Amino acid sequence: MSKQCMTVGQALVKFLDNQYVSLDGVEEKFVDGVFTVFGHGIVLGLGQALAENPGSLKVYQGRNEQGMCHVAAGFAKQNNRRKIIACASSIGPGAANMVTAVADATVNNVPLLVFPGDAYATRQPDPVLQQFEQPYNLSITTNDAFKPVSRYWDRVSRPEQLMSAMINAMRVLTDPEQAGGVCIAIPQDVQGERFEYPDYFFRKRVHKIVRREPAAEQLQDAVQLILGKKKPAVILGGGVRYSEAGEELLSFCEKFNIPILETQSGKSVLNTNHPLNMGGVGVTGNLSANMIAEKADVIIGVGTRLSDFTTGSKELFRNPEVQMVLINVSPFHAEKLDAYPVIADAKAGIRALGKALEEKGYRSGYTDEIQTAKVAWDKEMEFLTGTVYDESYKPLIKAMEPGVLEEFVKTTGGLITQTGALGLIRRTIEEDAIAVGASGSLPGDLQRMWTTTKKDSYHMEYGYSCMGYEIAAALGAKLAKPDQPCYALVGDGAFMMLHSEMATSLQEGKKITVLLFDNCGFGCINNLQMSNGIDSLATMFRRRNESTGKQDGQLIATDFAMIARGYGMAGYTARTMNELKEALEAAKKETVSTLIDIKVLPKSMTDGYKSWWHVGIGDSETIPAIHEAYERRMEALSRARMY
- On whether residue 121 sits in a domain, the answer given is yes
Sign of CA dihedral 519, 521, 522, 523: negative
Query: In sequence order, which ranges of 61-142 are alpha helices (DSSP H)?
Result: 65-78, 93-97, 99-107
Structure confidence by residue, pLDDT tens digits, 574-609: 999 999 999 999 999 999 999 999 999 998 999 889
pLDDT of 642 reads 86
What is the pTM (predicted TM-score) of this model?
0.96
**Distances, alpha carbon 240 to alpha carbons 303, 312, 456, in Å:** 6, 21, 11
Q: Which is more confidently placed, 641 or 275? A: 275
- On whether residue 7 sits in a domain, the answer given is yes
- Closest by CA to 81, choosing from 238, 207, 242, is 242
Mean pLDDT of 75-83: 98
Question: What letters, b where the CB count within 10 A reaches 16 and e where it falls short, cover 313-323?
Answer: bbbbbeeeebb
Sheet holding 31-37, edge to edge: 58-61, 31-37, 84-89, 112-118, 181-187, 152-155
Mean pLDDT of 412-417: 94
Q: Are strands 194-198 and 3-7 parallel, antiparallel or unpaired?
A: antiparallel
- Residues 402 and 445 occupy one common structural domain: yes
- Residues 307 and 322 occupy one common structural domain: yes
- On whether residue 256 sits in a domain, the answer given is yes
Specify the length of the chain in residues.
643
Query: In sequence order, which ranges of 53-173 are alpha helices (DSSP H)?
Result: 65-78, 93-97, 99-107, 161-173
- On whether residue 606 sits in a domain, the answer given is no
pLDDT of 395 reads 43
Which of 192, 209, 226 is the last residue in one of the domains? 209
| pLDDT band, very low/low/confident/very high, at 249 (cuts 50, 70, 90) | very high
- Residues 525 and 565 occupy one common structural domain: yes
- Residues 309 and 417 occupy one common structural domain: no
Determine the Cα–Cα distance for residues 243 and 248; give it in Å rounded to an integer.
10
- Residues 299 and 181 occupy one common structural domain: no
**Distances, alpha carbon 607 to alpha carbons 82, 288, 382, 396, 618, in Å:** 36, 14, 15, 10, 22
Structure confidence by residue, pLDDT tens digits, 169-184: 999 999 999 999 999 9
Domain assignment of residue 263, given as a range: 216-375
> Residue 416 above 70 pLDDT?
yes
- On whether residue 614 sits in a domain, the answer given is no
Pick the range with the lowest mean pLDDT from 25-34, 309-318, 471-480, 525-534: 525-534
> Residue 391 above 60 pLDDT?
no
- Residues 246 and 341 occupy one common structural domain: yes
Sign of CA dihedral 453, 457, 462, 468: negative
pLDDT of 549 reads 87
pLDDT of 402 reads 81
- Residues 221 and 275 occupy one common structural domain: yes
pLDDT of 17 reads 98
> Residue 404 above 90 pLDDT?
no
Total domains in the chain come to: 3
pLDDT of 558 reads 96
Which of 209, 232, 265 is the last residue in one of the domains? 209
**CATH code where residue 501 lies:** 3.40.50.970
| pLDDT band, very low/low/confident/very high, at 392 (cuts 50, 70, 90) | low
Structure confidence by residue, pLDDT tens digits, 189-242: 999 999 999 999 999 999 999 999 999 999 999 999 999 999 999 999 999 999
- Residues 343 and 415 occupy one common structural domain: no
Mean pLDDT of 415-430: 96
Query: In sequence order, which ranges of 491-612 are alpha helices (DSSP H)?
Result: 492-497, 501-508, 523-531, 560-567, 577-589
List CB contacts of 262: < 8 A, sequence separation 6 or more: 235, 236, 269, 270, 277, 278, 279, 280, 281, 289, 447
- Residues 329 and 393 occupy one common structural domain: no
Structure confidence by residue, pLDDT tens digits, 296-305: 999 999 999 9
- Closest by CA to 75, choosing from 89, 58, 92, is 58
- On whether residue 177 sits in a domain, the answer given is yes
- Residues 479 and 335 occupy one common structural domain: no
Residue 447: phi and psi, rounded to 5, are -65, -35
List CB contacts of 38: < 8 A, sequence separation 6 or more: 47, 90
- Residues 38 and 76 occupy one common structural domain: yes
Whether residue 428 contacts residue 439, with contact meaning beta carbons closer than 8 Å, is answered with: no
